[in-house]
Homo-oligomer: A and B are copies of this chain.
Amino acid sequence: MVSRPTLPSVDPTPSQLLLVDSVDRPGLVHQITGVLWRHGANILTNHEFVDREARRFFMRTEFAGVAALGAVVTELEALLPPGAVVRIGRAGSHRIVILATREHHCVGELLLRHAYHELGASIQAIVSNHSTLASLGERFDVPFHHVPHEQVSRADHEAAVLKALEPYEPDYLVLAKYMRILSRSFVDRYRQRVINIHHSFLPAFVGSRPYHQAFERGVKIIGATAHFVTEELDEGPIIAQGVVPVSHSYGPNEMAQAGRDVEKIVLAKALKLVFEERIFLSGKRVIVFD
């Protein structure tokens, strides 16, 4: 109770982000920063990484002082190797939709951060195959769509979900404990834009009731992995991971609670990285510039 409130210092210079993902070749940093320089940019932070196995080049540049952002992108696209992706970052302005089932912990965490402008993205809606979380959405004035999966085919259910998503034009879908497997065509529709949170164990457990298995095996650590969803079942490129210690005195329910606690933290951490445009995908790996 004895500390005083932190008054945020407002940084006077607004800054912008340039993001480049390209086949590697010598001279890229020089060429890219040359374009920025000619447009009057002052570079504040620059991250660059070459994935030597994949021969790909990734760069994230925070800069100030440029008026003609469109021209920067156009010049860079002309200059860079064919297929290079050049973007002006949109940190803080992404639109997301949450897909959930019945568990509240991740959804609640995201709604709270959203309500206080700490999420770095705007939650447009929650779509769920159950109605359980409708009241949670209501508490935070976020539209909730119940799209039941019972007595419809998988394809029809996915079509209904896609239809519910469409008007929100989401930049990202966040699977906040969405307990349905997505089809390849669904994932392709939001390619590299679907993020999932998944419990993780050492060792890993196959099959159902993982926390019961973890309990029976007496694990001392429970983890969570946030990852992009790809067409390959289960786990795509990893964005963030975390763990919490557990002990022999935890039953399966206590282990599941510990798992929920770490899942929401890891998901929030991964989303922060994504929404701050600190993430590049390089094959099966995620480059994190933090």
Q: Is the CB of A2 within 8 A of B234?
A: yes
Residues of chain B with a CB closer than 8 A to A43's CB: 26, 28-29, 48, 50
A168 in contact (CB, < 8 A): no
Q: Is A145's beta carbon under 8 Å from chain B?
A: no
Check if A153 is an interface residue, CB within 8 A of chain B. Answer: no
Residue A247 CB within 8 A of the other chain: yes
**Are B3 and A179 in touch, CB under 8 angstroms?**
yes
List, in ascending order, chain B residues with CB within 8 A of A216's CB. Answer: 284-285
How many copies of the chain does the oligomer comprise?
Answer: 4
Which of the candidate stretches A73-81, A157-165, A250-258 sits at the interface with the other chain? A250-258
CA–CA, A1 and B197, complex, Å: 7
Q: How far is the CB of A114 from chain B (nearest CB, A)?
A: 11
| Cα–Cα distance between A115 and B108 once the two chains are bound (Å) | 10
Report B-chain residues with C-beta under 8 Å of the C-beta of A241. Answer: 202, 219-221
Minimum distance in angstroms from A54 CB to a CB of chain B: 10
Most buried by B among A3, A8, A46, A212: A3
Q: Given A37-B30, A243-B221, A290-B247, A175–B1 Cβ distance below 8 Å?
A: yes
Q: Which residue of B lies closest to A237 (CB)?
A: B218
How many angstroms between the C-alpha atoms of A248 and B281 in the bound complex? 11
Question: Could you tell me if A26 and B41 are in contact, using CB atoms closer than 8 angstroms?
Answer: yes
Chain B residues, Cβ within 8 Å of A30: 30, 33-34, 36-37
CA A108 to CA B114, docked complex, whole Å: 12
A202 and B225 in contact, given A33-B33, A253-B8, A288-B247 (Cβ under 8 angstroms): yes
B196 touches A1 (CB 8 A): yes
B109 touching A218, Cβ below 8 Å: no
Residues in B with CB closer than 8 Å to A185 are none
Known: A11-B52, A180-B1, A252-B6. Is A218-B238 also a contact (CB below 8 A)? yes
- The docked-state distance in angstroms from the alpha carbon of A290 to that of B29 is 19
Q: How far is the CA of A36 from the CA of B118 in the complex (A)?
A: 40
What mask results when residues 1 to 13 of chain A are scored 1 for a CB within 8 Å of chain B, else 0?
1111111110101
Q: How far is the CA of A198 from the CA of B2 in the complex (A)?
A: 8
CB distance from A267 to the nearest CB of B (A): 12
Within 8 Å by CB of A202, from B175, B200, B218, lies B200
A9 touches B212 (CB 8 A): yes
Say yes or no: A5 contacts B285, CB within 8 Å.
Answer: no
- List the 7 shortest-distance A-B pairs measured between CB atoms, nearest first: A218-B285, A200-B202, A46-B48, A30-B33, A204-B204, A221-B241, A220-B241
